[in-house]
Amino acid sequence: MTSSKDQGKPPLLTVFGISKQFGGAQALHDVGLQLFPAEVVALIGENGAGKSTLMKILGGILNPDAGTIQMDGVPVRLQNPAQAMKLGISLIHQELNLADNLSIEANLFLGREMTWGGPLGLANRRAMEARSASLLDRVGLGFSPKERLANLTLGQKQLVEIARSLSLDARILIMDEPTSSLAQRESERLLQVIRELRQDGVCVVFISHRLREVEAIADRVIGLRDGKNAGELSRMEINYPAMVKMMVGRDVKLKRHQPILPKIPGLPPALKVVKLRHATSKGEGVSLEIQPGELIGMAGLVGAGRTEFAETLFGIRQRVSGEIHLTGKPIKIRRPADAIAHGMALVPEDRRHHGLILADTIRGNIALPNLDTLHKGKILNFKAIKSTAQKGVAALRIRTTGISKQAGQLSGGNQQKVVLYKWLFRKPALLILDEPTRGVDVGAKEEIYDLMRQLTDKGVAILMISSDLEEILQLSDRVLVMHENKMVGALDRDQLSEESIMRLATGANS
């Protein structure tokens, strides 16, 4: 398919000379960009390269320090989201922006409801609910439009956010990492929706660290590096190594990880779970065993109940029945503090609400779960705290002006790295990772995988929940699959394939 750019149509949007500074850090420097109707443009770059910042400027959320934005050749000023929307630019944020206290329908139409009664502005609920149903259908979410949003999982909310953007009648639709908490099936569905939008003449800007998806969908790829333009690839030039090179600025050899099966026989399993059930579990509950040094992947569709299982294991949710044994001993876990005391660690899925204290510094966030070691007689050991944080920033290449930066001011991927490091530092006996590389760039992923391997080599057991099939396939020694709050199967290394996992995950077997 040829994009409109090739046909010489006038650009929809032209941006040039955009710069943006945040307290001494130059997030964007003289960036330019052109968008045409009916094309899918992928924007790629390492974590902190400035992708989200640039898109927030287009969405009217941030004001640039310098630069010009032209829509249809006319200079425009985008002072607030409402203005941008009026011009036909809609933005799905990297982080969710929904109101949990309202229904799905109310969220879908927030800010542009269908009304009757003229100035009374009465909500035409019936019409909106009807329209909601078709929108939800389009993204494959089987909820009633009346459901309270709070009852949805992160991934499901992400789908609501996407459904919301579909109804916007936007000319330019910006999706900032829409797939980061989606599993393969939902992602594919989304890509299909994007294709349909393109057909309707919409320009979709697609940001993702899942380069396979970019390969599949993009008509054009634009790279950002250190807040500057780093080049552009046309449809023909798009391939994995080229994209990585554009992001990182040099050739990168991608390692293939070879899982090493546990080598120390005879030891009790690091974790043994017997029929663990929580309030919404179905069936007889989840049972599993992990040997020291083993990395177990856990796959499933959005809302399959993996997060809930992990949270129950970690003492966040109430256990209804079942047993947990750590290194052969049965333990009782009533709250996360207990789990941590037993040598467990959990990197939660929702980094903004559960993983980080956004207003606190990087240093404070990394220190928080590790304060039990970073003190002298309960008085803070400021020096140790500082050096720990600095080590973390270096080890995971967290892009920041310093360890005193507020976590909330980091780019999404860098926030994720902070969450990862604060738990990795503990050197736990059992590490539970829930979507560990959500929003993390390719290069950093490799480093994180290396770290995980180093840990398993030292005998740490890892349970990795991930919606990224590639990641699961690449790293897992064994894969467990969940479907509708039930454990539906376990696959050994030699049985692993995309198809075998998907068959279980979609419930085809049951």
Ligand X SMILES: Nc1ncnc2c1ncn2[C@@H]1O[C@H](COP(=O)(O)OP(=O)(O)OP(=O)(O)O)[C@@H](O)[C@H]1O
Contact residues toward Mg ion (CB under 5 A) are 52, 94, 307, 349, 411-412
Smallest separation, CB 71 to ligand X (Å): 22
* CA–CA gap between residue 21 and residue 146 (Å, rounded): 42
User: What are the structure tokens assigned to 257, written together?
Assistant: 């990880």
Scan residues 380-399 and list those touching ligand X (CB under 6 A): 399
Pairing status of strand 220-225 against strand 228-234: antiparallel
Q: Which is nearer to other proteins, 70 or 97 (CB)?
A: 97
* CA–CA gap between residue 313 and residue 317 (Å, rounded): 8
Q: Which is nearer to ligand X, 114 or 191 (CB)?
A: 191
Which one of the spans 50-58, 82-90, 454-462, 486-494 is the region binding ligand X (CB under 6 A)?
50-58
- C-alpha R_g of the chain: 23
Smallest separation, CB 352 to ligand X (Å): 12
Q: Which is nearer to other proteins, 236 or 379 (CB)?
A: 379
Q: Which is nearer to ligand X, 126 or 282 (CB)?
A: 282
Scan residues 82-111 and list those touching ligand X (CB under 6 A): 94
Q: Which is nearer to ligand X, 270 or 410 (CB)?
A: 410
* CA–CA gap between residue 274 and residue 324 (Å, rounded): 6
Residue 1 touches which of other proteins, ligand X, Mg ion, none (Cβ within 5-8 Å per kind):
none
Pairing status of strand 25-35 against strand 115-116: unpaired
Q: Out of 3, 156, 165, 365, point to the residue binding ligand X (CB under 6 A).
A: 156
Smallest separation, CB 113 to other proteins (Å): 4
Q: Out of 277, 278, 306, 445, point to the residue binding ligand X (CB under 6 A).
A: 306
- Could you tell me if 80 and 60 are in contact, meaning their C-beta atoms sit under 8 angstroms apart? yes
Smallest separation, CB 121 to other proteins (Å): 5
Smallest separation, CB 289 to ligand X (Å): 20
Residue 290 touches which of Mg ion, ligand X, other proteins, none (Cβ within 5-8 Å per kind):
none
The DSSP 8-state label assigned to residue 437 in this structure reads T
Torsion sign over Cα 225, 228, 229, 230: negative
- Could you tell me if 488 and 509 are in contact, meaning their C-beta atoms sit under 8 angstroms apart? yes
By CB under 6 A, residue 349 contacts ligand X: yes
Q: Which of 202, 229, 232, 220 is nearest to 41 (CA)?
A: 220
By CB under 6 A, residue 145 contacts ligand X: no
Q: Which is nearer to other proteins, 27 or 38 (CB)?
A: 27
Sheet harboring 295-300: ordered strands across?
344-347, 430-434, 461-465, 295-300, 478-483, 486-492
Smallest separation, CB 328 to ligand X (Å): 28
By CB under 6 A, residue 155 contacts ligand X: yes
By CB under 6 A, residue 418 contacts ligand X: no
The DSSP 8-state label assigned to residue 352 in this structure reads I
Which one of the spans 20-28, 189-197, 231-239, 242-250 is the region binding ligand X (CB under 6 A)?
20-28
Residue 456 touches which of Mg ion, other proteins, ligand X, none (Cβ within 5-8 Å per kind):
none
Instruction: Tell me the three-class secondary structure of 71-125, residue by residue.
Output: ECCEECCCCCHHHHHHCCEEEECCCCCCCCCCEHHHHHCCCCCCEECHHHCEECH
By CB under 6 A, residue 47 contacts ligand X: yes
Neighbours of 63 (CB within 10 A): 12
Smallest separation, CB 435 to ligand X (Å): 7
Instruction: Tell me the three-class secondary structure of 173-200, residue by residue.
Output: EEEECCCCCCCHHHHHHHHHHHHHHHHC
Q: Using CB under 8 A, list all residues that contact other proteins.
A: 21-24, 59, 61, 80-82, 85, 91, 93, 96-103, 106, 110-113, 115, 117, 120-123, 144, 146-148, 279-280, 314, 316, 335-337, 339-341, 346, 348, 353-360, 364, 367-369, 371-372, 375, 378-380, 401-402, 404-405, 422
Which one of the spans 147-155, 334-342, 424-432, 494-502 is the region binding ligand X (CB under 6 A)?
147-155
CA distances from 76 to 58, 67, 79, 82, 84 (A): 10, 11, 9, 13, 9
Smallest separation, CB 51 to ligand X (Å): 3
Strand, helix or coil for residue 142: coil
Vertex 451: Cα angle to 449 and 455 (nearest 5): 115
* Residue showing tokens 């409402």: 82
Q: Fill in the amino acid letter for 151.
A: N
* Residue showing tokens 């736990």: 428
Axis crossing angle, helix 125-139 with helix 184-199, rounded to the nearest 10: 110
Smallest separation, CB 371 to other proteins (Å): 5
Smallest separation, CB 364 to ligand X (Å): 16
Q: Out of 128, 222, 410, 488, point to the residue binding ligand X (CB under 6 A).
A: 410
Which one of the spans 79-87, 266-274, 376-384, 404-412 is the region binding ligand X (CB under 6 A)?
404-412
Residues that bind ligand X (CB under 6 A): 22-23, 25, 27, 45, 47-53, 94, 142-143, 153-156, 181, 280, 300, 302-308, 349, 399-400, 409-414, 439, 441, 467, 485
